[in-house]
Amino acid sequence: MIQDIGAGRFHNEYRACTPQPGDRILCYQNRNVLGRYEAGQLTFLTYEEAGGQMEDTFRYLFSIDGVAYFLPEAEAFGADAMQRLPEGVGWQPLELFRTARPREAAFAAVTGFQLAEWYRTRRYCPQCGHRMVHDDIERMMHCTSCGLMEYPKICPAVIVGVTKGDEILLTRYAGRSYKKYALIAGFAEVGETIEETVHREVMEEVGLKVKNLHYYKSQPWSASSTLLMGFFCEADGDDEIRLDQSELAEARWCPRAEVPEWEDVSLTMEMMQVFRTKGILEFNRETSGDTSAV
Ligand SMILES: [Zn+2]
């Protein structure tokens, strides 16, 4: 999955520090990241390549394997800097994070994007309109006028593998560029538990009641500031699909052996493959440690 870049290599603790030679610069415009993309390999500007000056205008983001990544302030990386870019460096679509190598570069691109978006939309206080300033100790923006504090935004959401015996419910979205099969997905609403989100989303999208929820894994999905939580569950009673056509173009029961596979870093894909190779009953036994069940 996108976050699987090796144990203990990603450090996101905030530090008030400035870039050093060799550190990487993550610069975004719309949903593009500045870098090189050659033969499937994604690399970013080093601090030296970005000019190696005005260190106070770069914000520390995180480090991976000891290499720190920084975000330039908008003012620090204007038209002048763009004209001095090294050969081969240009805007690369963020969507490359699904397939680009090395994996830590793909992870850095999409994780940095979430932070860049948060900083971009927190320049001014949403309560009183004054300029926000960064806290010295933690990753927090606060308003010097009214005192409002803002922390990075993470939206919880669910991915749901609904099963019926040896079949799993596959869906395709309506009105989105992503046309491949997926699982039921949706954001948590205010005031509900994540389990209630599972029940509500499945009912809204395909009109099914579900039972026997089993938490699988989570995944940061920074392209939409989301923390995904994956659940498997079983259809409860009536298994007739009533499609919400505003959300979905298709939903169907797919036998295990026919679950499709393609290269993808998503929790959705891993859950589809777990079901294809293991099935939900074996999976439940493995994770619960209860061999007497089923
Ligand atoms: Zn304010």
Ligand 1 mean position, distance from CA 125 (Å): 5
DSSP state for residue 124 in the 8-state scheme: B
Ligand 1 centroid to residue 132 C-alpha, Å: 7
- What is the whole-number distance in angstroms between the Cα of residue 120 and the centre of ligand 1? 16
Cα–Cα distance between 239 and 241 in angstroms, integer?
A: 6
Centroid of ligand 1 to alpha carbon of 128 (angstroms)? 4
- What the block records as the tokens of 29 is 């415009």
pLDDT band at 245 (very low <50, low <70, confident <90, very high): confident
CA of 28 to the centre of ligand 1 (A): 26
Tell me how far apart the alpha carbons of residues 239 and 253 are, in angstroms, rounded to a whole number. Answer: 9
In the reported structure, the alpha carbon of residue 206 is separated from the centroid of ligand 1 by a whole-number distance in angstroms of 43
Calculate how far, in angstroms, residue 149's C-alpha sits from the geometric centre of ligand 1: 9
Helix, strand and coil in the chain, % to nearest 5 = 25, 35, 40
Minimum mean pLDDT range among 74-83, 98-107, 164-173: 74-83
- Distance (angstroms) between ligand 1 centre and the Cα of 126 equals 7
Ligand 1 mean position to 73 CA, how many Å?
A: 21
> Positive or negative CA dihedral for 283, 284, 287, 291?
negative
The answer to whether residue 291 scores a pLDDT higher than 50 is no
The alpha carbon of 124 and the centre of ligand 1 are apart by a number of angstroms equal to 8
How remote is the CA of residue 169 from the centroid of ligand 1, in Å? 47
- The average pLDDT across 92-120 equals 94
DSSP H helices, the chain, are 79-83, 103-120, 194-206, 267-278, 280-288
Return the SS3 of 175.
Answer: coil
Where is pLDDT greater, at 72 or 84?
Answer: 72
**Distance, CA of 57 to CA of 69 (rounded, Å):** 13
Write down the pTM of the prediction. 0.89
Average pLDDT over residues 67-79: 80
- Residue 294 predicted with pLDDT over 50: no
pLDDT at 57 over 90: no
pLDDT of residue 6: 73
Residue 165 pLDDT greater than 60, yes or no: yes
Q: How far, in Å, is the centroid of ligand 1 from the Cα of 154?
A: 21
